[in-house]
Structure 1
Amino acid sequence: MNLQGAYLGMAAQAVSLMGEPEVAASWEKPSALAEMTVGALAGHLMYQIFSVSPVLQEPVSAEEPIALLEHYARAVWVDEPLDGELNTGIRARGEQLASEGAQPLLEQAGAALAELQVQLPAMPGDVAVFIPWGGWALTLSDFLVTKMMELAVHMDDLAVSVGIATPEIPGAAFEPVLTLLTHLAVRRHGQAALLRALSRAERAPSAINAL
């Protein structure tokens, strides 16, 4: 399975999760994430679908795509505090997407996914796509990995928030997400910390978070 197919599979899982009755029933309640309702979290999760089509519709970028890890090195939000401008904006966008309720958001997400199921398979993974909110280009494959990581992390957040099982992600989709998070954890904590966390419980660090 290529990354286009892996992304589409994860996006379908996210839409299915969003459609669980527990999500709608908890819409206005606090989520597992600080200062976000369940609805806002669901909105942020669905944004990982909504934000792909506009990028695909941009003209093919003439810029040389940067490496995936460089994308995260440049991303201000990675180290921004919870009350920072970008993180505040992310929460506000989630709330706005959730404002009409669970069913309208679910329908919009289903329509966006159907559009991507037509668009994405025809595009080569090595094409350069411009990321307007970053100001640089990535390959399509790397861009999709950024979205897959967000889908994986926030599906877990949403499932935990409403007390249901986190979806099991197929290996073809989980592997690039795991690779990305591993590299980000090493950059944040160093090789030794990751090795100890995975192999030596007696001297494992207290934190090995990637983000």
Structure 2
Amino acid sequence: MDRSSYVDAARTALDLASTPEVRAAWDAESACAGMSVGGLTHHLLQQIVNSVRLLEAEPVEEQPIALLDHYARAAWVRAGLDDEANVTIREESDAEAAHGTDHVLAVAKDALERLPALLSAPRAPDLVRIPWQGWSLATDDFLATRAMELVVHGDDLAASVGLQTPEFPEDVVAAVLALLSGVAVRRHGQVAVVRALSRPQRAPDSVSAF
């Protein structure tokens, strides 16, 4: 995934979040059960904000872990809808959304304006530490995790307000699909994923990555 394409994906997410449909449905429940449209919008755009915050952080000397190991270790991956990890995300997102549409959009717009310079060499760090997880990822792997959030939650937000899901850059979608496929293979096994993609008559009911 080209880093400039990640910026384009972030811009696509912000454009979606800025639509009149999202503003009008701000307090309604979203397609993500238990989270308002405003909360989902904040969670979506927070991926841009966190990208900037962590790229701007002081560099650390630490061995990054592999991309798929990130999802093997993260507690939220195995958590149920009502487990603490997911309840906390919903509650914090809804609380931030209470500041209003204009505030949420303005914070994201400011972050997006700073993002291209942070990703340009030689300024971009080699790795990014994720403080809420306690480990680091190579910068491009970190961007893949944020791209996944943008693409998946972009679809959630569009579905929440009756809009067409926006098209993201092809190389971003390719990186996201590779990530999701890798996680799904670890969770369900190679055969299940291959069959889901090629042999529906023998496919399992679900090969969801999460």
State the TM-score, normalizing by the size of structure 2.
Answer: 0.95
Contact 1:28–1:39 (CA<8 Å) still a contact in 2?
A: yes
What is the alpha-carbon distance in structure 2 between the residues aligned to residue 91 and residue 115 of structure 1?
27
What is the alpha-carbon distance in structure 2 between the residues aligned to residue 118 and residue 128 of structure 1?
16
Partner of 1:146: 145
Partner of 1:27: 26
Contact 2:56–2:118 (CA<8 Å) still a contact in 1?
A: no
What does the per-residue CA deviation read over 1:138-180, in whole Å, with 9 as the maximum and x for residues that have no partner? 1111001000000000000000000000011121111111100
Partner of 2:17: 18
Displacement after TM superposition at 1:124 (Å):
6.7
Letter of the 1:131 partner, please give it: I
Contact 2:147–2:172 (CA<8 Å) still a contact in 1?
A: yes
* 2:163 is the counterpart of 1:164: yes
Q: Secondary structure at the match of 2:201?
A: helix
Q: What are the residue-to-residue correspondences of 1:12-91 with 2, within 5 Å?
A: 12-91=11-90
Contact 1:48–1:151 (CA<8 Å) still a contact in 2?
A: yes
Displacement after TM superposition at 1:123 (Å):
4.8
Compared with structure 1, are the counterparts of its residues 123 and 95 closer, same or farther at alpha carbon in structure 2 (3 Å cutoff)?
A: farther
Displacement after TM superposition at 1:135 (Å):
0.8
What is the alpha-carbon distance in structure 2 between the residues aligned to residue 103 and residue 125 of structure 1?
29
Partner of 2:102: 103
Q: Which moved more, 1:107-116 or 1:97-106?
A: 97-106
Q: Which moved more, 1:124-133 or 1:100-109?
A: 124-133
State the TM-score, normalizing by the size of structure 1.
Answer: 0.95
What is the alpha-carbon distance in structure 2 between the residues aligned to residue 117 and residue 198 of structure 1?
35
Displacement after TM superposition at 1:82 (Å):
1.5
Letter of the 1:185 partner, please give it: A
Q: Secondary structure at the match of 1:72?
A: helix
- Deviation beyond 4 Å, 4+ runs, structure 1: 123-126
Displacement after TM superposition at 1:118 (Å):
2.2
Q: Which moved more, 1:121-130 or 1:11-20?
A: 121-130
Contact 2:118–2:124 (CA<8 Å) still a contact in 1?
A: no
Q: Secondary structure at the match of 1:122?
A: coil
Identity of aligned residues (%): 47
Displacement after TM superposition at 1:97 (Å):
2.2
Contact 1:50–1:109 (CA<8 Å) still a contact in 2?
A: yes
Displacement after TM superposition at 1:10 (Å):
0.7
Letter of the 1:80 partner, please give it: A
What does the per-residue CA deviation read over 1:2-33, in whole Å, with 9 as the maximum and x for residues that have no partner? 2x212111100000000111001111111111
Partner of 1:155: 154
User: How many residues are matched?
Assistant: 210
Q: Which moved more, 1:53-62 or 1:132-141?
A: 53-62
Contact 1:27–1:39 (CA<8 Å) still a contact in 2?
A: yes
RMSD (Å) for aligned C-alpha atoms: 1.4
